[in-house]
Chains A and B, each alone.
Chain A
């Protein structure tokens, strides 16, 4: 599929994982996350196996560990919350290095940390191997309602155009000696935001005109209708299917 905007999470490549149709990857990640979440937290070994599975996918996708770990950073705010749990959750206490910690709190923290990290890692892998544009097309093929797909597509296309417009307005403001400092200047900024809104709105009208002129009748034609092969589905679903027995084992043991 065509190159959309290269987003920061994406890592160009031509690995087998990159080549899979985006909607199969979306289903695979969703399936994997559901399996992980359904695993009881006490089955610590299961989470180690899940991590190993993701490691194998990353290796196939040729996504280096450093890249993956750095992008896991978005998880940190949630981790901070998890770290608090052993101190604040009431219940049976245990002592680690002389600090008294709550046992249910420790399990809770572990639960969030392990499942969260695996979920984020799977998503980061998906984003690293799939372009934003392809992700949206994948969602479309999975039946995401057309208006939402269209809105998302326009956000990709016009994000930069509107950012540029905003920057030009800011340059124009500053060229006339205006620097936004403090509350007194908020009025000017609010007016600029209003002007930006109107400009974007009018652009929307012109774009709509151009679309109608080229035969738009309310739905976007789906351009990529190549059927997905059984082998592609099998390759994508290998991840959740490998995770499933681990989960079942974890629940029964």
Chain B
């Protein structure tokens, strides 16, 4: 395998108030992989995500994106390579129109004119929102906003797409539409989720983060099928869902 998209080793972090959230996280994600990051509330998933593009700075350990160490020196490059889709699209979409929002990242990177328009158009096309470029984000449905949020990040042509709970608050149809979008993308994906069937559907591989360390790493089906492991980390399948029975 060539350079992995993401390499995290020995990552530890304590919040300024002294609360230690991560206790030495190690993980590697190869190029083109789709990986789910599972774990109970408060496990440190969001904290980990915020390290991937240098928003939080590791207390110990390193994060490497496509061979580039995350740190002050390459911050602009890192922020372009790591596309984070936050949980609440209203936080992510901060410009008055969809077009301006999708253009924000590439424009900040210096793109202008026809080139910029093309990038915006392509990103909106990937998430099936071409017709909405001139709409204000507030007038879109929640599912549409989530898809536009994905487009804003895709416009930067990231090395790795990181999604924090992408299926939360979506109705079943929007949830499936987003799955179709994610499946059609040709990028490395790290998906933080509590939606275990969604993880199984989209990600061949899963990581379990529990109490600030990676507690398991393996094929999603095997992890969801390991009852003892699941119980130990407060992971529960929805009623009636049997991972083995899904094709």
Contacts and interface: CB of A to CB of B under 8 A. Distances in A.
Interface stretch (A76-84, A86-94, A154-162): A154-162
A214 B86 contact: no
Interface in B188-220: none
B55 A209 contact: yes
A134 to B, nearest CB: 10
A210 interface: yes
B104 interface: yes
Interface stretch (A1-9, A139-147, A176-184): A1-9
A210 B91 contact: yes
- Tell me which of A156, A211, A215 has the highest count of chain B C-beta atoms within 10 A of its own C-beta: A215
Question: Which applies to chain A's interface (DSSP): helix, strand, loop or mixed?
Answer: helix
A39 to B, nearest CB: 38
Contacts of B93: 157
Interface stretch (B30-38, B131-139, B165-173, B239-247): B131-139
Contact of B97 (A3, A161, A209, A213): A3
Contacts of B99: 2
Nearest to B117: A223
B104 A157 contact: no
A206 B134 contact: no
B157 interface: no
Contacts, number: 89
A153 B91 contact: no
Contacts of B113: 225
A153 B136 contact: no
Interface stretch (B14-22, B62-70, B76-84, B221-229): B76-84
A186 to B, nearest CB: 30
Contacts of B55: 209, 212-213
A210 B94 contact: yes
Given A2-B133, A213-B55, 6 more contacts: A5-B96, A157-B137, A206-B88, A207-B94, A216-B104, A221-B104
29 contacts: A2-B133, A2-B134, A3-B136, A154-B94, A156-B96, A158-B94, A161-B138, A203-B90, A203-B91, A206-B91, A207-B94, A209-B50, A209-B91, A210-B84, A211-B94, A211-B104, A213-B55, A213-B79, A214-B79, A214-B108, A215-B80, A215-B104, A215-B109, A221-B104, A221-B108, A223-B100, A223-B103, A223-B116, A225-B113
List the 6 closest pairs (A to B, CB-CB), nearest first.
Answer: A221-B107, A215-B108, A2-B97, A214-B105, A206-B91, A2-B134
Interface of B: 50, 53, 55, 76, 79-80, 82, 84, 86, 88, 90-100, 103-105, 107-109, 112-113, 116, 133-138, 152-153, 156
Interface of A: 2-5, 133, 153-154, 156-158, 160-161, 203, 206-207, 209-217, 221, 223, 225
